[in-house]
Amino acid sequence: MKFKKYVFFEKVLISALFLTLNACDNSFLKTRLFTNNKLNEQIESNLLSKHKYLFYYPSIIPHYPNSFIAKIPEALTDDKGSIFYLSNDSIKVISDFYNQQFKSHSWKIIKSFSKEDKSFIAKKDDLEVELVFLSHDEKTNYFINYKNTKTVITQEKKEVYENEVGKFKNIPKVLYSYVGDLVALETLDLKVKEVNQLIDTNAQINRRTYAKWLFKTYNKFYQDVPEKQIRLASSNLKPVFSDVSSNDPDYLYIQGLAEAGIIPSSLSKDNNSLLFYPDAYLTRENLIIWKVPLDFGKGLSIIPTIDIEKNWGFQDIKTINLKALQALYIDFHNKEKSNIRRIFGYTILFQPQKPVTLAEAITSLWYFGYQEKGISARDILQK
């Protein structure tokens, strides 16, 4: 950075001077001259502030001579910081000084000073400086912010990069590791219009996509245990759902889950599930009903409503489907491995019809099993 052209010996000299003054303050001044502890603390604070200013503050920023430092925040560094000043002169006099200094020293004026917002911004090389006037009563109160724009841009790019995995972007930080593991597992195929298109994980997931991911991920977990795997449906079978024909690209997965009794259908005596609605969004209720039987290792049990109400304590329990309530009961007793805790964190509302996002759906697939008898995507990747 051009604005950080500090000479090495200058920094050494400043540091030595600071340490000498500080040592003098600690050993002689405090014991001989100052008996007031508050005064001692003030002297030490002033020395530290002056040290930070001399050591970090970019020397190419003009300094108005008739002003003094009122405050230096602790965050002052080479790359960014703020200095608060006080002066007896007017805002006009000080702003004219900085305006003249910036122009005469080849600064680029990004934002000209105005009486309305009483601020302006100037830039030279990678250093951007913002000067803001706060008030003018008996004294003029103003501050200068500076930042290295090159460093800021690099950090922003890094944050965006860390928020992407594979073809997915905008991944919630708390779910990032789950999505990363599932991407590495390679069971999440999703068609995109463009080759390099990234998929926003905050988008809703439809029922067909989750059914396919559920089928493929579960079988990947138990690839070495054939007796636990779900079988693909035969294309010769009569479709269970009238809106998912044998020509549907996801028929083998959806039909296979229905044949195995994982997805409610006419085969499981659920006459309300004659249609699958493959392109409708997946609800929280759908997710929990489909996923929990694969965790539990068997079908959902009939549980008294009074027992169900004692566990999660959802305030909207009366709006939740009975099958979902049974699944929630089992999931609650899965302790820290429960889907609800992993996906949604702490909540007293289930919101059964709320659409599930891609990130939430992926997170549900990170673990299969009940209590301590289970396996995670991380376990599979480490084999």
**Close Cβ partners of 242 (under 8 Å, ≥ 6 residues apart):** 274, 275
Do the beta carbons of residue 165 and residue 377 sit within 8 Å? no
pLDDT at 69: 84
Tokens 């559920």, residue located? 214
Amino acid present at 254: I
The yes-or-no verdict on residue 317 having pLDDT over 90 is no
DSSP state of 262: S
Query: Whose CA is closest to 375, among 218, 244, 216, 258?
Result: 218
Rounded (10°) CA dihedral 55, 57, 60, 61: -150
Helix (H, G, I), strand (E, B) or coil at 233: coil
* pLDDT reading at 136 higher than 50: yes
At 216-244, the pLDDT tens digits run 999 999 999 999 999 999 888 899 999 99
Nearest residue to 121 (alpha-carbon basis) of 110, 137, 135: 110
Mean pLDDT within 255-272: 90
Side-by-side strand order, sheet with 80-87: 67-71, 80-87, 140-148, 127-136, 119-124, 108-111
Quick: pLDDT tens for 59-107. Answer: 888 989 998 888 776 667 778 888 888 899 989 899 899 989 999 998 9
Q: For residue range 359-378, list pLDDT tens digits in order.
A: 999 999 999 999 878 999 99
In the three-class reduction of DSSP (H, G, I as helix; E, B as strand; rest coil), residue 73 is classed as coil
Q: What is the pLDDT of residue 52?
A: 52
The end-to-end CA distance of the chain, in Å, is: 46
**Residue 298: C-alpha distances to residues 247, 250, 255 (Å):** 30, 24, 18
State how far the Cα of 206 lies from the Cα of 276, in Å rounded to an integer.
11
CB 245 within 8 A of CB 204: no
- More confident site: 178 or 2: 178
Q: Global pTM?
A: 0.59
pLDDT given for residue 153 in this prediction? 52
Phi, psi of 142 (to 5 degrees): -145, 165
Q: Alpha helices, DSSP H only, in 222-370?
A: 251-259, 284-296, 305-309, 322-332, 339-344, 358-364
Beta strand 168-169 with 199-200 is parallel
User: In the predicted model, is pLDDT for residue 313 greater than 60?
Assistant: yes
Cβ neighbours of residue 18 under 8 Å, at least 6 residues apart? 47, 50, 51, 54, 55
Going by their DSSP bridges, the two strands 67-71 and 80-87 should be labelled as: antiparallel
Encode pLDDT of 92-102 as tens digits: 899 899 989 99
CA 383 – CA 380 distance, rounded (Å)? 5
Q: How far apart are CA 313 and CA 198, in angstroms?
A: 38
Whether 324 contacts 352, CB under 8 Å:
yes
Overall average pLDDT of the 136-150 stretch = 83
- Strands 373-376 and 367-370 turn out to be antiparallel
pLDDT bracket for residue 33 (50, 70, 90): very low
Residue 67's alpha-carbon distances to 19, 44, 56, 89, 91, in angstroms, are: 26, 22, 19, 8, 12
pLDDT band for position 35 (cuts 50, 70, 90): very low
Distances 24 to 30, 36, 52 between C-alpha atoms, Å? 8, 16, 18
- For 261: left if phi > 0, alpha if psi spans -120 to 50, otherwise beta; the answer is left
